[in-house]
Amino acid sequence: MSRWFGLGFGLWLWLPSLVWAQAIGGYAAGCQLDARALPASGPGFYVIRRARERFYGQPSLIDYLQRLGRGARQAGLPPMLIADIAMERGGPFSSGHRSHQTGLDADIWLRPPPDDPSPSRLQRIRAIDMVDHRYYILNAHFRDPQRQLIALAAQDESVSRVFVHPLIKNAMCKAYGDAPWLGKLRPWFGHSSHFHVRLHCPKGDTLCEPQAQVPAGTGCGRELASWLNDKAGAISAGPRTPFRPRLPKQCIGRVR
Ligand SMILES: [Zn+2]
């Protein structure tokens, strides 16, 4: 009897470390438990600006990014540069975007890696804008490798949305016609040097708040046209002030 009790107690101590990873709350008002760190590099990827310590995510996202890196390598694409994921405990960043709070969002830069991807170089690296904002067109930096990487990223079943600049969505619509995953590409200003991948809530994370399903269809028609015509929005999409949302009670005291 006591032996069984001992075994049970041992399991009870051990199991939470396996099953406790959790995304809590919404993408822009939440936190995460038991996040995993994405290694500094791996097949098909490098993590940039590691000093910011925003390379933590839920296991589903870390697995996804490693899978995407392998896929990119198999497709003969250059290694991708992964920027912000989330802080170890999630929660709002002190600067930058509002989401990335639950370990289910990641930014991937559109520029190829530098010739010398040493840690110090990757720490200081600069983004390359794919949009010529004066004429409001894509510039020569946006080419087939960028298109292929975005397509690979969006096709994965665990992906809910991929945010891209409206001009990039337009280019993807032209290149991929009526591919069903085009509907996951959501036009959003400010995403002209990187794209932003958002995963679905992991199964069983009952405190994770999912976002509404994306509308049916490719989103390449009238919806996109309204974004392309909104030049005022394009101009006002600048740096934002720090964002302090109301967090779920499970996050209070856990995040800065
Ligand atoms: Zn982002």
- Residue 15 maps to a domain: no
- Residue 256 maps to a domain: no
At 12, the pLDDT band (50, 70, 90 cuts) reads low
> Cα(97) to centroid of ligand 1, in Å?
6
Number of domains forming the structure of the chain: 1
- Residue 9 maps to a domain: no
Query: Would the pLDDT of 10 be above 90?
Result: no
> Cα(7) to centroid of ligand 1, in Å?
44
- Please report the pLDDT score of residue 45 as a whole number: 98
> Cα(138) to centroid of ligand 1, in Å?
20
- Please report the pLDDT score of residue 72 as a whole number: 98
- Residue 228 maps to a domain: yes
- Residue 6 maps to a domain: no
- Please report the pLDDT score of residue 126 as a whole number: 96
- Residue 14 maps to a domain: no
> Cα(196) to centroid of ligand 1, in Å?
5
- Please report the pLDDT score of residue 252 as a whole number: 87
pLDDT tens across 163-172, in order?
999 999 999 9
> Cα(197) to centroid of ligand 1, in Å?
7
> Cα(15) to centroid of ligand 1, in Å?
33
- Residue 133 maps to a domain: yes
d(CA 219, CA 44): 30
- Please report the pLDDT score of residue 94 as a whole number: 83
Reduce the secondary structure of the chain to three states and give it as a string.
Answer: CHHHHHHHHHHHHHHHHHHCCEEEEECCEEEEECCEECCCEECCEEECCHHHCCCEECHHHHHHHHHHHHHHHHCCCCCEEECCCECCCCCCCCCCCCCCCCCCEEEEECCCCCCCCCHHHHHHCCCCCCEECCCCEECCCCCHHHHHHHHHHHHCCCEEEEEECHHHHHHHHHHHCCCHHHHHEEECCCCCCEEEEEECCCCCCCCECCCCCCCCCCCCCHHHHHHHHCHHHHHHCCCCCCCCCCCCHHHCCCCC
pLDDT tens across 239-255, in order?
556 667 889 999 988 88
> Cα(11) to centroid of ligand 1, in Å?
38
pLDDT tens across 151-202, in order?
999 999 999 999 999 999 999 999 999 999 999 999 998 899 999 999 999 9
pLDDT tens across 94-133, in order?
877 789 999 999 999 999 999 999 999 999 999 999 999 8
User: CATH number of the domain that 79 lies in?
Assistant: 3.30.1380.10
Average pLDDT over residues 71-84: 98
Q: What percent of the chain has pLDDT over 90?
A: 75
Domain range for 114 is 21-251
- Residue 125 maps to a domain: yes
- Please report the pLDDT score of residue 230 as a whole number: 78
d(CA 120, CA 65): 22
- Please report the pLDDT score of residue 242 as a whole number: 63
> Cα(41) to centroid of ligand 1, in Å?
19
> Cα(150) to centroid of ligand 1, in Å?
14
- Please report the pLDDT score of residue 254 as a whole number: 81
- Please report the pLDDT score of residue 221 as a whole number: 87
